[in-house]
Chains A and B, each alone.
Chain A
Amino acid sequence: MREREVPQEGNRSLAGHRKAVYAVADDGKLRLVPSRGWEVEEIVTRQAVEDLERRAEEARARVLAGQSSPLEYHMYRARMDLELLSQSTGLWRWRVRRHLRPAVFARLPLALRRRYAEALGVSVEALGKAE
């Protein structure tokens, strides 16, 4: 890649930041060039983010339909999955899965709600609602 070919496409995913890439300058030497982004990077980043957002939206629909607890929505919104939420809270996977059931979640003691809220970076009140 030549220095003048370094993409400067203003990726939304970089939010105004510039990332460093290496490119060949006119003297034939490689050097660090700040880049505003390449559309290719934006496509694959947005793809990954949108996949996570889609999972959160589907979970929200399930919560509203009474099929799942708000915990599932917050798990995906924090870009986690069952495995990571279990590791982050130190709870067994089967327990976390059980807490995804609305009836079980509704009876969840405050201590456990706090643990989930802490791991997901939301308040205890917010954890109770899928929004």
Chain B
Amino acid sequence: MPEAFVHAHASHCESGVMSSLLRHHGLPMSEAMAFGLASALSFAYLPFIRINGLPLVSFRMPPRAIVKGLERSLGLSMRFETFRSPSDGMARLDALLDAGKLVGLQASVFWLPYFPPDLRFHFNAHNLLVYGRERDEYLISDPVGETTVRCAREDLKKARFAKGVLAPKGLLYFMTKPPLTPDWARLGRRALARTARIMLAPLPLIGVRGMRLLARQIERLPLADGGERARLYIGNIVRMQEEIGTGGGGFRFLYASFLQELAAKTGYSALDALAARLVEIGDRWREFALAAARMIRGRDALAPPVLAAHLRALSADEKLFFQNLHRAQRAWAL
């Protein structure tokens, strides 16, 4: 098996893993296509989940949504296994690799030595592929890396059995039934409908309403401590948007790429105009990030209301955008 495996660089770990896995099993699939078909784009502000004291802000669906979403829509079967004992988990991985399987793993970024030190936070829901083993070294295709890497057994074991929020519990997964040849138009249309529904959901924490709520929270940030906490708070949002593998603009460019590809595959050209519009919105997200970073570094005065106004404008833009996406999807004659 490993002789045929081809590594591909991706912006996001889960969509990267799934596109590589599908390609390996005979279905050409770009990262953007995997991301879009799984309806992975989102926005969520979850104040009750705190990481180092800061609320969770996410620009995508929760971990495993892409694997599960593609499993459902492409008619493939994935097997998921978790382990109580680390040595069982490693033994099972070895057995699967010996049987020629390409295995996906969930792991903590902190314990993976091949990651740059500054990026090694305790984030437990990272995904990677293992395509082989040479004695005590595993051959790893980590989608966010440009090339394949190696990882020692003890390090990989620690990363797979890290504890805390979203603890991987040694999760591994592999394909047991290959994908069917998809009906791109039907699947694409359904995926668009799902994403529009999530982004326009009548829930305060999710989608365009979540952005508005976050804007209000930013406005209310206390500045009495000289702005220390406020800076960490907005820095955290920008990290979730740009630094942790989103392809830029909080996955908006990646999703635009999906829309273009879907248009090309199905001939439904209305999606091209939507893609162009989403690129503009992605650029506005980048401007928000830039404005925030300048305030964090003190190049501009810290002014939470300015950032809140940015976010409200983005919320309004995205509301219109996803309404148009919904309409385009409805008007799509299959």
Seen from chain A, the residues whose Cβ lies within 8 Å of a Cβ on chain B are 1, 12-24, 28-32, 34, 38-41, 43-49, 51-52, 78-81, 83-84, 87-88, 90, 119, 121
Give 9 A-B contacts (CB < 8 Å), ordered by A residue. Answer: A15-B117, A20-B144, A28-B276, A39-B293, A40-B289, A43-B293, A81-B53, A88-B163, A119-B163
Q: Taking A29-B260, A32-B10, A43-B297 as contacts, is the C-beta distance between A48 and B146 under 8 angstroms?
A: no
**In whole angstroms, how far apart are the Cα atoms of A65 and B260 in the complex?**
61
User: Which residues of B sit under 8 angstroms from A87, Cβ to Cβ?
Assistant: 163-164, 167
Within 92-118 of B, Cβ neighbours of A (below 8 Å) are at 110-111, 116-118
Q: Taking A19-B245, A22-B253, A44-B235 as contacts, is the C-beta distance between A14 and B275 under 8 angstroms?
A: no
Q: Taking A49-B118, A79-B110, A81-B52 as contacts, is the C-beta distance between A22 and B162 under 8 angstroms?
A: no
Q: Is the Cβ of B145 less than 8 Å from the Cβ of A48?
A: no
User: Which residues of A sit under 8 angstroms from B77, Cβ to Cβ?
Assistant: none
Q: Is the Cβ of B235 less than 8 Å from the Cβ of A48?
A: yes
**In whole angstroms, how far apart are the Cα atoms of A92 and B117 in the complex?**
29
Q: Is the Cβ of A24 less than 8 Å from the Cβ of B279?
A: yes
User: Which residues of A sit under 8 angstroms from B286, Cβ to Cβ?
Assistant: 1, 40
Q: How far is the CB of B122 from chain A (nearest CB, A)?
A: 6
Q: Is the Cβ of B111 less than 8 Å from the Cβ of A121?
A: yes
Q: Is the Cβ of A22 less than 8 Å from the Cβ of B163?
A: no
Q: Is the Cβ of B235 less than 8 Å from the Cβ of A30?
A: no
Q: How far is the CB of B230 from chain A (nearest CB, A)?
A: 12
Q: Is the Cβ of B243 less than 8 Å from the Cβ of A45?
A: yes
The 3 lowest CB-CB distance pairs between A and B, nearest first, are: A15-B116, A22-B253, A13-B118
Q: Is the Cβ of B290 less than 8 Å from the Cβ of A40?
A: yes
Q: Taking A48-B121, A84-B164 as contacts, is the C-beta distance between A21 and B247 under 8 angstroms?
A: yes
Question: A19-B245, A22-B11, A43-B296 given. 11 additional CB < 8 A pairs?
Answer: A1-B283, A14-B119, A20-B144, A22-B253, A39-B293, A40-B286, A44-B239, A47-B232, A48-B236, A49-B118, A84-B163
User: Which residues of A sit under 8 angstroms from B296, Cβ to Cβ?
Assistant: 43-44, 47
Q: How far is the CB of B281 from chain A (nearest CB, A)?
A: 11
Q: Is the Cβ of B146 less than 8 Å from the Cβ of A17?
A: yes
